[in-house]
């Protein structure tokens, strides 16, 4: 069985001390975005798509305890924001 998590990763500069990446997950109902409680600062805003994909996998692992089997990334034109679909393969 396959299950998916969708959301956004956004470069945030509103935190007083250090800018960094924030992970937002879409949830139920009405596909609300929920920010996760951490700010990831080790990857720069101009990181490659491969590095961002890897970071999303790491952050989801932190949140769910499982690494996704695949992360599909769409970088948006409105700044350092990416939307993603992470796919998990569950044992039958």
69: pLDDT strictly greater than 80 = yes
Q: Is residue 10 helix, strand or coil?
A: strand
Q: What is the pLDDT of residues 3-53, one digit of tens each?
A: 899 999 999 888 667 889 999 998 766 667 888 878 888 899 889 999 999
Q: Is residue 36 helix, strand or coil?
A: coil
68: pLDDT strictly greater than 70 = yes
Q: How, if at all, do strands 2-12 and 20-27 pair? A: antiparallel
Residue boundaries of the structural domains of the chain:
2-89
Strand order in the sheet with 81-89: 32-35, 20-27, 2-12, 81-89, 70-75
């Amino acid at each position: 069985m396959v299950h998916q998590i969708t959301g956004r990763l956004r470069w945030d500069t509103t935190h007083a001390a250090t800018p960094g990446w924030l992970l937002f997950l879409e949830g139920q109902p009405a596909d609300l975005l929920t920010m996760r409680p951490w700010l990831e600062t080790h990857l720069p805003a101009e990181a490659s798509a491969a590095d961002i994909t890897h970071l999303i996998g790491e952050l989801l692992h932190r949140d769910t305890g499982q690494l996704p089997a695949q992360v599909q990334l769409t970088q948006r034109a409105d700044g350092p924001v990416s939307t993603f679909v992470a796919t998990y393969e569950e044992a039958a």
